[in-house]
Amino acid sequence: MRCSEWWLQHSPFRGSQTREASLVGMVPTKVKKERVYMSDVEFIGTTKIYDDGTVALDSLDLTIREGEFLVLLGPSGCGKSTALRLLAGLEDITRGEIRIGGSRVNDLPPGARGLGMVFQSYALYPHMTVRANLAFGLRRGRGDARVDAREISTRVEEAAEMLDLHKWLDKKPRELSGGQQQRVAIGRALVRRPKVLLMDEPLSNLDAKLRNRMRFELRRLHEAHGTTTLYVTHDQVEAMTLADRVAILSEGKLQQSSKPLEAYHRPANSFVASFLGTPAMNLIEGAAKAGVFTAGELSFALPEHLAGRDGPGIFGIRPEDVRIIDSGDSSVVNDGGDGSVVNDGGGGGGNSGDVLCRVGGVEHLGSDTVYHLEAGGSWIRALRRRSADRPQGTDGEPGGEIRVNLAVPAALIFED
């Protein structure tokens, strides 16, 4: 990355001045001198290229503030685990820097960095009891980590208290369930009083129910202790529920880092848009011109805030934002939140936001119904929440027609 680009991305002005910039959603890295706290973590142009030439991480710029719970989110192979392992010192950094508390740690051995790490596989020492597992790092670690025996037992007690491990202290890991093992792993990372807690998909080996409980517990722990946490996951639910801030990676590049809801509502690009949310956001590739978006045979009016856009782009709208207008009476049944734009159905095109669609399939999910709709060669997913006056499955048979409106305020256009 050239300097000029770097400046552009990191300029403090870029973030807040324009609408587009805010969509990028980058929390600017500190450029002006600021107080740096003990456990602030900074990735500065951090790049990892493996020996076989794979670029696992492509100049990542990211700051994790002290006390923050930051979730690195992305599909597998996006470099999120690499970022974590670079920070932990388990891999060498090819280019760039990582700082903890303002000092460069690129070359510090892992043990010197004052971190705690929780692995997906828990990585408990199989031959030790839970108590010994918790104490091992304190007893055998070098430098700051090593503490005296009395302190070890106090800290183990604390961890046991905090994570409710008392019953298991003298058991071996294999006698414990997955969830219990995970607690031990977390406890082991925490007894060291780490400056930063690293978690690498810690919940993905647990079953769904347990995962929910542990998620809640992790959040509670974080709120109680405020340890700076970097949490890697591919699960957007975890990201949305746990994170103070979420950083989304794809193919080694940072796509967006922002508050979870902001990433959801204002994704920086089509990747983030499609990655977050189930069912995924509708993305229609086409071109905007004079307030009308055209994609193949489909064309519809853009909402007001997008009316000024011109040129090729990707029109994005979340399934739940698609307003469904009943085929029968044309009344608005899913008003997408504010119902500001109401076009009287103009027959599926032209200058109206209304589109007349063929119903390709219907999925009843209980609380929601997902319609797979086809219009002018593009597929649109629309989601309708069940409500008291509209019980499920009353309309929209496959093969029938539904009229929807896409010109809603939540709609977006991406230029990538």
Partner 1 sequence: MRGVAHDSSGRAAGKPTLAERWYVPAEISVLRVWLPFAVVVNVLILGGEALRGNVWGMSGTLSAVVLLNLLCMGLPDGAGRWRRTTSQIFATVALMHGVLFPSWRDVSLYDLWAVSWLIIPAGLSLYWLSTGLSGAWCAGASDARAAELGLARNRRLAPKLEAFGLHVFLLHAVALVVAPVIWIFDVSISPGNILGGAIFDAFTLEHFRAVLGGEAFWLWTRNSLVVAFGTTLVGLLLAIPAGYAFSRYQFAGRKGAMFVFMLIQMFPGIIILVPYFMVMKTLGLLNTSIGLIVAYSVTALPLCVWMLKGFFDAVPRALEEAALLDGCNRVEVFFFVVLPLSLPAVAITALFSFLTAWNEFLLALVFNTSNDAYTLPVGLASMIPATNQLWGDFAAASIVVSIPVVILFVLFQRSLIQGMSSGAVKG
Partner 2 sequence: MVTPRRPEAGLTAWMPAALLLCAAGIGVPDAKAQQVAVDDAAQAYRQIRIEVDYAPDEAVAGFEIWFASQAFESTGDAELHSTIRVADTSALERGPEDVVFDRCWSDGLPIHRDAAGSPVVNPDATNWSCSLSGMTPGAGQWIAVVPVGADGAPLVDTESLQPVTGRTDVPDERTPPPDTRPVLYALSLVVLSTVVLLLFLRRQDALQGRSKSRLAHIYVAPALIALATLTFYPIFYGIWLAFTNADQSRLGDEAWIGLANFATIFAGPGVWRVTLFTFVWALSNVLAHVMLGLALAVALDRRGLRGRMAYRTILLLPWAIPGYISVLAWNGMLQPDGLVNGLLGTAIDFFDGAGSARTVVILVNIWLGVPFMMMVFSGALQALPASMYEVAEIDGVSRWDQFRHLTLPNLKSTLVPVSLLGFIWTFNSFNTIYLLTRGNPYSGFGEPGATDTLITHVFAVAFEYGQYGVAAAWSVLIFLVLIGFSWAYLKRTRAMEAVA
Binding site for partner 2 (CB under 8 A): 88-90, 109-113, 115-117, 119, 121, 123-128, 136-137, 140-143, 145-146, 188, 192
Shortest separation between residue 253's beta carbon and partner 1, angstroms: 25
Residue closer to partner 2 (CB basis): 206 or 407? 206
Residue identified by tokens 């990211």 is 62
Q: Which does 126 bind (CB under 5 to 8 A by kind): partner 1, partner 2, none?
A: partner 2
Residue closer to partner 2 (CB basis): 115 or 273? 115
| Nearest-angstrom CA–CA distance, 113 and 3 | 29
Q: Which does 137 bind (CB under 5 to 8 A by kind): partner 1, partner 2, none?
A: partner 2
Residue closer to partner 2 (CB basis): 116 or 179? 116
Q: Which does 90 bind (CB under 5 to 8 A by kind): partner 2, partner 1, none?
A: partner 2
| Nearest-angstrom CA–CA distance, 191 and 307 | 56
Q: Which does 364 bind (CB under 5 to 8 A by kind): partner 2, partner 1, none?
A: none
Which long-range contacts (C-beta less than 8 Å, at least 24 apart) are formed by 36-39? 36/99, 36/101, 36/102, 37/65, 37/66, 37/101, 38/66, 38/101, 38/195, 39/66, 39/67, 39/100, 39/101, 39/195, 39/196, 39/227, 39/228
| Residue 408, token pair as written in the block | 């809603």
Q: Which does 125 bind (CB under 5 to 8 A by kind): partner 1, partner 2, none?
A: partner 2
CA distances (Å), origin 130, targets 65, 151, 176, 191: 32, 17, 10, 13
Shortest separation between residue 28's beta carbon and partner 1, angstroms: 16
Q: Which does 280 bind (CB under 5 to 8 A by kind): partner 2, partner 1, none?
A: none
| Nearest-angstrom CA–CA distance, 188 and 65 | 23
Residue closer to partner 2 (CB basis): 192 or 372? 192
Rounded to an integer, what is the distance from CA 352 to the centroid of its chain?
34
What does the angle CA 166 – CA 171 – CA 177 come to, to the nearest 5 degrees? 85
- Nearest 5°: phi and psi at 294? -120, 130
Binding site for partner 1 (CB under 8 A): 33, 35-39, 66-67, 92, 99, 101-109, 112-114, 143, 195, 225-227
Q: Which does 39 bind (CB under 5 to 8 A by kind): partner 1, partner 2, none?
A: partner 1
Residue closer to partner 1 (CB basis): 182 or 227? 227
Shortest separation between residue 120's beta carbon and partner 2, angstroms: 8
| Residue 96, token pair as written in the block | 């760039």
Residue closer to partner 2 (CB basis): 143 or 311? 143
| Nearest-angstrom CA–CA distance, 374 and 355 | 10
Among 341, 365, 359, CA closest to 396: 359
Shortest separation between residue 267's beta carbon and partner 2, angstroms: 33
Shortest separation between residue 384's beta carbon and partner 1, angstroms: 45
Among 42, 52, 53, 57, CA closest to 1: 57
Handedness of CA 216, 223, 119, 130 (dihedral sign): negative
Residue closer to partner 1 (CB basis): 11 or 106? 106
Q: Which does 145 bind (CB under 5 to 8 A by kind): partner 2, partner 1, none?
A: partner 2
Beta bridge partners of 158: none
E strand or H helix at 4: helix 3-10
Residue closer to partner 1 (CB basis): 21 or 108? 108
Among 122, 116, 114, CA closest to 144: 114
Shortest separation between residue 103's beta carbon and partner 1, angstroms: 3
Shortest separation between residue 162's beta carbon and partner 1, angstroms: 14
Shortest separation between residue 290's beta carbon and partner 1, angstroms: 51
Give residues with Cβ within 8 angstroms of 100, minimum separation 6.
39, 40, 41, 42, 87, 113, 114, 195, 196
Residue closer to partner 2 (CB basis): 87 or 242? 87
Three-state secondary structure call for residue 306: helix
Shortest separation between residue 260's beta carbon and partner 2, angstroms: 27
E strand or H helix at 322: none
Q: Which does 67 bind (CB under 5 to 8 A by kind): partner 2, partner 1, none?
A: partner 1
Residue closer to partner 2 (CB basis): 229 or 270? 229
Q: Which does 291 bind (CB under 5 to 8 A by kind): partner 2, partner 1, none?
A: none
Shortest separation between residue 191's beta carbon and partner 1, angstroms: 15
